[in-house]
Amino acid sequence: MRRSLVVGNWKMNGNRGKSLGLLGDILAGLGEGAKADVGVCPPFVYLPEVGEALTGSSVLLGSQNVADQDEGAFTGEVSALMLKEFGCQLAIVGHSERRLIYGESSALVAARYAKALQHGLIPILCIGETLEERESERTFDVVGEQLDAVLHTAGVASLAKAVIAYEPVWAIGTGRTASTEQAQEVHSWIRARIAKLDANISESLQILYGGSVKPDNAAALFSMPDIDGGLIGGASLDANSFLKICHSA
């Protein structure tokens, strides 16, 4: 039985005070015995303080990216070793905003994924197609290529310690959510593809859905057999909405 996981991606929003305030409201509202595991991914600069505020809590701390190198002349990058120093447990890699706005290739994403794993961070590998790719019926080609890049670099066994987030680009921040059937179709396709390589890993792999998850659509999405929780952008910036989503999982 897979546990559910709900992760908030705060992106480049808020400030120091708002980040700590948001976290405080989330911690107060989550209470004991939440059924799902919960994580938050604040901007890099707030990781130390958010991490400190999470002391003693079961909420997981995550970064929004991770370097593909350990150290050196890589301006603007933050290594997995540095993230571990501040208590990070998760690292998002391959978010569509990184792939599409900053031109990160699947090969670079795979190298980031491998570095996260090497140093004991759980990578949340984001994969998903654009609207144009969906409309030209290339969804499975695109998602397959993004997945294969990681499988070739790190092998299927690496997925035992990783999470996948299926995030159709056309649903991110647009208010347009994939229908439960559309999301389930891709999630089950991903799981089946991995099952061909390793049935046990496929069965235990958490596959999150991301793309305009809100309190009013979360329960239906999370009720699908291959959807194991969500990666939440906009709605994770509002404690009440995020808490409702967490409680739906």
Catalytic residue set: 95, 167
- Binding to ligand PEP by CB under 6 A, coded x per residue (else -) over 112-151, reads ----------------------------------------
Residues 227-246, interacting with ligand PEP (CB under 6 A): 231-235
Q: Which of 125, 127, 213, 249 binds ligand PEP (CB under 6 A)?
A: 213
DSSP states of 28-48 as a string? Answer: HHH-S--SSEEEEE--GGGHH
210 contributes a contact to ligand PEP by CB under 6 A: yes
93 contributes a contact to ligand PEP by CB under 6 A: no
User: What's the one-letter identity of residue 213?
Assistant: V
9 contributes a contact to ligand PEP by CB under 6 A: yes
CA dist., res. 218 & res. 222, Å (int): 6
18-26, 64-72, 107-115, 167-175 -> range binding ligand PEP (CB under 6 A): 167-175
Q: Considering beta carbons, is residue 61 or 172 the nearer one to ligand PEP?
A: 172
Q: Considering beta carbons, is residue 167 or 202 the nearer one to ligand PEP?
A: 167
Least distance from ligand PEP to the Cβ atom of residue 149, Å: 19
CA nearest to 150, candidates 195, 109, 203: 109
Number of residues that bind ligand PEP (CB under 6 A): 13
221 contributes a contact to ligand PEP by CB under 6 A: no
216 contributes a contact to ligand PEP by CB under 6 A: no
Interior/surface letters 29-63, b for 16+ CB within 10 angstroms, e for the rest: ebeeebebbbbbbbbbebbeebbebbeeeebbbbb
19-27, 53-61, 147-155, 207-215 -> range binding ligand PEP (CB under 6 A): 207-215
Least distance from ligand PEP to the Cβ atom of residue 163, Å: 13
6 contributes a contact to ligand PEP by CB under 6 A: no
Mark residue 207 as left, alpha or beta (left: phi above 0; alpha: psi -120 to 50; beta: remaining). beta
DSSP states of 117-184 as a string? Answer: HHTT-EEEEEE---HHHHHTT-HHHHHHHHHHHHHHHH-GGGGGG-EEEE--GGGTTSS-PPPHHHHH
Which pair of structure tokens corresponds to residue 59? 């909420």
Residues in the chain: 249
62 contributes a contact to ligand PEP by CB under 6 A: no
Q: Which of 123, 168, 211, 229 binds ligand PEP (CB under 6 A)?
A: 211
- 56 half-sphere exposure, CB direction, 13 A CA radius: 4
CA dist., res. 187 & res. 209, Å (int): 8
Q: Which residues bind ligand PEP (CB under 6 A)?
A: 9, 167, 172-173, 210-213, 231-235
